[in-house]
């Protein structure tokens, strides 16, 4: 039973436009959420996180939005760049417990 | 400083053989996780350690899988009597503690022939 769901296996976005990656979760006890980026043959690298006490966190071109009532979070990348082409994983945890990842969304940035 | 180191980077083994995968976490990180990624799949949780103890082993697929961590540092994941469905990239990650991001190694690609 998937507790963290990324329903879009892939997404294509024009360079310079906004990329929006979505994630849904089922466990209302989750209180910390993370986004990771993964290139082929490398381990995932941490991008940005958000605590459940916030609804937005911004770091440069990356912004994560959290909607607790809808159990939904999204990652916005603006403007999208060619180097952003990768697989993006959403993850969630309840403090002190294991971190659970979604299946990932492959982002293609088109020239 | 050094990141998370995993060895070997690639392992090809025959069905039925045992394999041992090693993870060296970032120094001082108390939490250590093992995940695996099968072809075209997401990151599947296997087990995590806080210090030397494993509060959650629920992700281990079968009793052929075991893991240990000694001295609060190095961890080994052992797969006994490997099967073809064990073929995957096995990823290790560590973190300083609760609500801290995980730092991943580059993984061990295991191929069971």
Over residues A43-62, the pLDDT tens digits come to: 999 999 999 999 999 999 99
Would you state the pLDDT for residue B1?
Answer: 54
The phi and psi torsions of B102 (rounded to 5 degrees) equal -85, 145
Q: Which residue has the higher pLDDT, B72 or A24?
A: A24
For B10-63, write each residue's pLDDT tens digit: 999 999 999 999 999 999 999 999 999 998 788 999 999 998 898 888 899 999
pLDDT in the model for residue A97: 84
Strand intervals (E) in chain B? 5-7, 10-13, 19-24, 31-37, 44-50, 53-56, 65-69, 75-79, 88-95, 103-104, 108-112
pLDDT tens digit string along B32-41?
Answer: 999 999 987 8
CATH of domain B5-112: 2.60.40.10
Q: Which residues contact B73 (CB under 8 A, 6 or more apart)?
A: B24, B25, B27
Q: What CA–CA distance (Å, rounded) separates B42 from B36?
A: 8
Q: What percent of chain B has pLDDT over 90?
A: 79
Tell me the chain A residues in contact with residue B45 when contact means C-beta distances shorter than 8 Å: 98-101
User: Nearest C-alpha of chain B: how many angstroms from A95?
Assistant: 6
CATH of domain A4-110: 2.60.40.10
Cα radius of gyration (chain B): 13
Is residue B93 exposed (0-12), middle (13-18) or buried (19+ Cβ within 10 Å)? buried
Whether B99 and A32 lie within 8 Å, measured CB to CB: yes
Give per-residue pLDDT as tens, A66-103: 999 999 999 999 999 999 999 999 999 998 788 999 99
* C-alpha of A22 from chain center: 7
Determine whether B53 is exposed, middle or buried from the number of CB atoms within 10 Å of its CB (0-12, 13-18, 19+): exposed
In chain A, where the domains are located: 4-110
Question: A29 — contact with chain B (CB < 8 Å)?
Answer: no
For residue B109, give the chain A residue with the closest CA: A41
Burial class (CB within 10 angstroms; exposed 0-12, middle 13-18, buried 19+) of A56: exposed
- What gap in Å lies between CA A43 and CA B68, rounded to an integer? 21
Residues of chain A with Cβ-Cβ distance to B42 below 8 Å are 6, 89, 101-104
Contacting residues of B for A103, CB less than 8 Å apart: 41-42
Half-sphere exposure of B38 (CA within 13 A, CB side): 10
């Amino acid at each position: 039973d998937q507790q963290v769901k990324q329903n879009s296996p892939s997404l294509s976005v024009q360079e310079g436009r906004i990329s929006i990656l979505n994630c849904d979760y089922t466990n209302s006890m989750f209180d910390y959420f993370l986004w990771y980026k993964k290139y082929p043959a490398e381990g995932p690298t941490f991008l940005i996180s958000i605590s459940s006490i916030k609804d937005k966190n911004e770091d440069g071109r990356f912004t994560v939005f959290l909607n607790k009532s809808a159990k939904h979070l999204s990652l916005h990348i603006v403007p999208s760049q060619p180097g952003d082409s990768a697989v993006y994983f959403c993850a969630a945890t309840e403090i002190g417990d294991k971190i659970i990842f979604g299946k990932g969304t492959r982002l293609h940035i088109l020239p | 400083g050094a990141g998370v180191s995993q060895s070997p980077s690639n392992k090809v083994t025959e069905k039925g053989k045992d394999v041992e995968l090693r993870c060296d976490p970032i120094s001082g990180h108390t939490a250590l996780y093992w995940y695996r990624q099968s072809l075209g799949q997401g990151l599947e949780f296997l087990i995590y350690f806080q210090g030397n103890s494993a509060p959650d082993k629920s992700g281990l697929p079968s009793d052929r899988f075991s893991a240990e961590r000694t001295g609060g540092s190095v961890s080994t994941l052992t797969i006994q009597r490997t099967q073809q469905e064990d073929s995957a990239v096995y990823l290790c990650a560590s973190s300083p503690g609760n609500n801290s991001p995980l730092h991943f190694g580059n993984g061990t690609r295991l191929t069971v022939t």
